[in-house]
Amino acid sequence: MNNQGMTLVEVLVTMGIFLLLIVAVVALMIWGNHGKDVVWEQLSTQNEGRKVVQDFVNDLRRANASSIGAYPIELAQSQQIIFYSNVDSDNWHERVRYFLQGTTLKRGVIKPSGNPLTYNPATEVALDVAHDMANATSSIFYYYDQNYSGVSSSPMAYPINISAIRMVGIKLMLEEKPNVAPAPFNIEAKTEIRNLKSN
Q: What is the pLDDT of residues 90-120, one digit of tens each?
A: 889 999 999 999 989 999 999 999 888 899 9
Mean pLDDT of 169-183: 73
**Does residue 63 lie within any of the structural domains?**
yes
**Does residue 30 lie within any of the structural domains?**
no
**Does residue 112 lie within any of the structural domains?**
yes
The answer to whether residue 34 scores a pLDDT higher than 80 is no
Contact 92, 64 (CB under 8 A): no
What's the structural domain count of the chain?
1
**Does residue 29 lie within any of the structural domains?**
no
**Does residue 5 lie within any of the structural domains?**
no
**Does residue 28 lie within any of the structural domains?**
no
**Does residue 189 lie within any of the structural domains?**
yes
Mean of per-residue pLDDT scores for the chain: 85
Mean pLDDT of 164-185: 77
**pTM (predicted TM-score):** 0.77
pLDDT value, residue 180: 58
The whole domain housing 71 covers 35-196
**Does residue 16 lie within any of the structural domains?**
no
pLDDT value, residue 137: 81
The answer to whether residue 170 scores a pLDDT higher than 90 is yes
